[in-house]
């Protein structure tokens, strides 16, 4: 998770870092944090025109 945090600190628009950090948080049992990061990733992906990635992130969040 530290690598994701570092990536986000260097580039707060890095949707992939938020997505990866959400996966890690979920595995560690931090469901609320995972939902927050999935939602952030989805918004960033959509803003970048990556609609399929945005949908994937929203789908992951909505299953929690």
pLDDT digits (tens, 9 = 90+) for 25-47: 999 999 999 999 999 999 999 99
Residue 59 has phi, psi (to 5 degrees) of -60, -40
Question: Which two tokens mark 62?
Answer: 């909505």
Confidence of residue 2 (pLDDT cuts 50, 70, 90): very high
Phi, psi of 37 (to 5 degrees): -70, -35
Instruction: Indicate the pTM of the whole model.
Output: 0.95
Distance CA 35, CA 30 (A): 9
Domain holding 44, by residue range, is 2-62
Give the chain's domain count: 1
């Amino acid at each position: 998770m530290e690598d994701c945090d570092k990536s986000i600190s260097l580039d707060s628009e890095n949707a992939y870092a938020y997505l990866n950090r959400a996966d890690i948080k979920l595995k560690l049992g931090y469901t609320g944090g995972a939902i927050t990061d999935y939602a952030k990733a989805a918004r960033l992906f959509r803003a970048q025109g990556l609609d399929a990635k945005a949908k994937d992130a929203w789908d992951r969040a909505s299953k929690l």
